[in-house]
Amino acid sequence: MESKKYKVGYTTGVFDMFHIGHLNLLKNAKLFCDQLIVGVSTDELVKQYKNKNTIIPFEERFSIVESINYVNKVVPQNTMEKLKAWETLHFDVMFVGDDWKGTRKWLKFEEQFKELGVEIIYLPYSKQTSSTMLRELITKELVSK
């Protein structure tokens, strides 16, 4: 990891069924920047791009993330267009899980943000716990009853 310190960092997520992987992402991101802004995906956006409903409603997920000490500001994420977020928030670094590194989508973001002087830092993705895994366990438990 780089030791460079950034002024404003930005990351996004659904943060459904908040778990240790979410906390680690926020904690690690804050190590790099003075201010950490977090975009929490709205229920409508999650339905649109993941084609599923959240378990925890947006307002509650927003409140949970807002209460985390590492987070300076929380904003609703209404669109997947990261450049629109930059136009409003003017961050100089963006954090994303390393499970996205090398994907076509994020290689394109890297190019776009490089022109703006914004770096993208990939942080370790939590493989031991994920909201998808928790959802599958809950579903399996409900089906078996």
According to DSSP, the β-strands at 33-41 and 73-77 are parallel
114 catalytic per annotation: no
Asked if 79 contacts 52 with a C-beta cutoff of 8 angstroms, the reply is no
Of 5, 47, 50, 105, which one is the catalytic site residue? 50
52 catalytic per annotation: yes
- What are the residues facing 93 on neighbouring strands? 9, 119
The tokens describing 70, both together, are: 């590492």
* Residues 109, 78, 119: CA angle, nearest 5 degrees: 25
Of 52, 84, 105, 108, which one is the catalytic site residue? 52
Using the structure block, give the residue that is written with the tokens 């366990």. Answer: 137
Asked if 102 contacts 2 with a C-beta cutoff of 8 angstroms, the reply is no
The catalytic residues are 50, 52
